[in-house]
Amino acid sequence: MPNQTIKTPCVGLCSTVYGDLVCRGCKRFHHEVVHWNGYNEEEKRAVWLRLEQLLVQVMVAKIEVFDPLRLRQQLEARKIRFVPHQSEYCWAYQLIARGARVISQLEAYGMVLLPEFRDWGLPELRDAIDREFFLLSEAHYQRYIAPGFLKDAMGG
């Protein structure tokens, strides 16, 4: 499974069907979810890159990946899907997202929590990461995407 190409950021928890402008699952914008299959490779890459940059911003403030090779080996051994060309901080997120309730020693996976998060449980940290990632995606939408939609609607 980890060697399969991941074709979409979708994680199967879409909230855009309920009217959210930013999906609470994959953090893509509503129009990106709707039009994904019509996007060319460059458009898809741009979405993937934005998601990666926002997630890395959240993750580096909470953990340190000190052994990316060990992390990758652990993901592969546990058959946790990840995007190999993305940052190891995205890999770390996949591990925490899938294994928060069963991981006891992060060091065994090549990473460690930063001091201010060392007393947090992994499920609590996972939820905080997900919330912050969503809020950054929502802020990005409001700052860069919504004004363009408004201009289009106003004929500008």
Band the pLDDT of 117: cuts 50, 70, 90.
very high
Q: Can you give the residue range of the structural domain that contains 55? A: 50-153
Instruction: List, as one string, the DSSP characters of 76-89.
Output: HHTT----TTS-HH
At 21, phi and psi to the nearest 5?
A: -80, -20
15 vs 20: CA distance, rounded Å: 6
73 vs 145: CA distance, rounded Å: 38
Reply yes or no on whether the pLDDT at 1 is more than 70: no
Question: Is 27 part of a structural domain of the chain?
Answer: no
**Tens-place pLDDT, residues 31-82:** 999 999 999 999 999 999 999 999 999 999 999 999 999 999 999 999 999 9
Question: Is 110 part of a structural domain of the chain?
Answer: yes
- What total number of domains does the chain contain? 1
Question: Is 7 part of a structural domain of the chain?
Answer: no
